[in-house]
Amino acid sequence: MADKDGQTVSATRFAQLTGVSRERLRTWERRYGYPVPLRVAQGPRRYAVEDVARVVAVRHAATAGVPLAEAITRTAAAPVAPPPAAETLAALVDQLPVPVVALSGPAPIRVEYVNATVRAIPDAPLPGDELTAAVPAFAGTPCENALLRLFATDAGPVEAHHPAWGGHTRHVARSSLFRLPAAPGAAPLVAMLGLEGDGERAARAALAAQRREVEDLRQTHARHARWLEAVAQLAATIQAEPEPSAAIAESLDVIVRQTRAVDAALAVHGTGRLTVERSLRGMLGRAGVTVAAHPQLARALRDGDPVWLDEAARVALGVPDGLRACAVPVVVAAEPLGMLVLAADAAEPLDADSRRLLRAIAAAMGFALLRDRLVAELRAATV
């Protein structure tokens, strides 16, 4: 999937590397002119390898709430990052989740540095300690012999089993041993970098799963906070805006600003049809949809439950190609008044809390619609 020079990759490989689907890449290209594919004649799209990191940065920025156009402009113009500073590399070593120890020698073998993982181990050696005095089980082991060879010769890196850093003789660890560059005249240094065993791998996998769960909870909390803010602003907007049609337009603006939607429209229900006159940002076309022709829409109106629309329903409601759409039924007192259509670049999970918040948003829109209907009836009665 990469060319012979390794400078470009296929669209499929680019999507795998960046986590952005081919369809969304084409949508970004069509709307924002980024990323720019490389094509020969009418050949398939190929992408520059150097754009992979930039597209990943755009995706992360958009996930964090930065508007996509701004994220693309900011990231595309950013210079290539300089190499990390020495302090950054030192911090990286200190935070590695495996033991790292630097030793001077050959006699005595003295501990010169331990990273945070070693410092967290009870009874582990500390800088300044002699290795075999701090961990007597090291004495006479093949690992000690390997260390002595590295101090005295130009031997290459080796792997060795050795006693656990806490000195527990029943526990065995495994490390990679290698010489470190040293200034002329300085004592030779050898590093011991811990290697994972089955137990460590299992523990890291469990930790990674917990971190993913925490990240999912963080994103869920952020999504709920956005929608709660949208509900509060909707209520204030509807109360403050006396003109019903203006209240609905202002409400759509609030929804787009407070959620990840890129556009929003209110499809009004009447005589078995949903009618979209216009959307807030003009991305959705005018549409008239017979509800009975789309079982997904019919079920949503019947159950009053938000749903991510299938392709047929999206097309019928005028949602542009490449966008996802969430339909939120607007139902008041068991009467379907319409459907709020939220267009987005990507679908977000609809958990129980999300559904309740979306129903609250739809309820606020429903009261605006009822007020609009009441005002129209009163005006008609006075004519």
Please state, in angstroms and as integers, the Cα–Cα distance from residue 370 to each residue in 186, 272, 278, following that order. 84, 18, 19
The DSSP 8-state label assigned to residue 262 in this structure reads S
Give the model's pLDDT for residue 173.
84
Q: Which residue has the tokens 């290209």?
A: 29
CATH of the domain at 120: 3.30.450
- Residues 246 and 323 occupy one common structural domain: yes
In-domain check, residue 181: yes
Residue at which a domain ends, from 162, 195, 228: 195
User: How far, in Å, CA of 27 to CA of 5, rounded?
Assistant: 28
pLDDT at 232 over 90: no
Rounded to a whole number of angstroms, the distance between the first and last alpha carbons of the chain is 71
For residue 266, give its domain range.
Answer: 205-382
Residue 81 lies in a domain: no
Whether residues 68 and 114 fall in one domain: no
Contacts of 49 by beta carbon, 8 Å cutoff, 6+ apart: 2, 6, 7, 8, 9
Same domain, 230 and 277: yes
pLDDT digits over 212-231, tens only?
A: 888 888 887 877 777 677 66
pLDDT digits (tens, 9 = 90+) for 235-278: 676 666 666 566 677 778 877 877 778 998 888 888 889 998 88
**264 and 342 housed in the same domain:** yes
Rounded to the nearest angstrom, the gap between the alpha carbon of residue 3 and the centroid of all alpha carbons in its chain is 29
Report the C-alpha gap between 150 and 106 in whole angstroms: 9
**Which structure tokens are listed for 156?**
């290459």
In a domain, 93, yes or no: no
- The answer as to whether 256 is a domain residue is yes
Q: For residue 12, what is the domain's CATH number?
A: 1.10.1660.10
Take residue 293 and report the two structure tokens written for it.
């022709």
Last residue of a domain, one of 16, 41, 76: 76
Could you give the number of structural domains in the chain? 3
The partner residues of 158 in beta bridges, in order of sequence, read: 177
Examine the fold and report which residue of 167, 195, 223 is the final residue of a domain before the chain moves on. Answer: 195
Q: What is the pLDDT confidence band of residue 159, given thresholds at 50, 70 and 90? A: very high
Question: How far apart are alpha carbons 240 and 251 in whole angstroms?
Answer: 11
For residue 10, the cross-strand partners are 46
Question: How confident is residue 110, by pLDDT bands cut at 50, 70 and 90?
Answer: very high
Bridge partners of 336? 331
Is 84 within the bounds of a domain?
no
User: Which long-range contacts does 32-37 make (Cβ < 8 Å, 24+ apart)?
Assistant: 32/68, 32/69, 32/72, 34/58, 34/72, 34/76, 37/11
Q: What is the pLDDT of residues 192-210, one digit of tens each?
A: 999 865 556 666 677 778 8
**In-domain check, residue 87:** no
- CATH code for the domain in which residue 269 is found: 3.30.450.40
- Tell whether 172 and 218 lie within a shared domain: no
200 belongs to a structural domain: no
Does residue 168 sit within a domain? yes
On whether both 56 and 156 belong to a single domain, the answer is: no
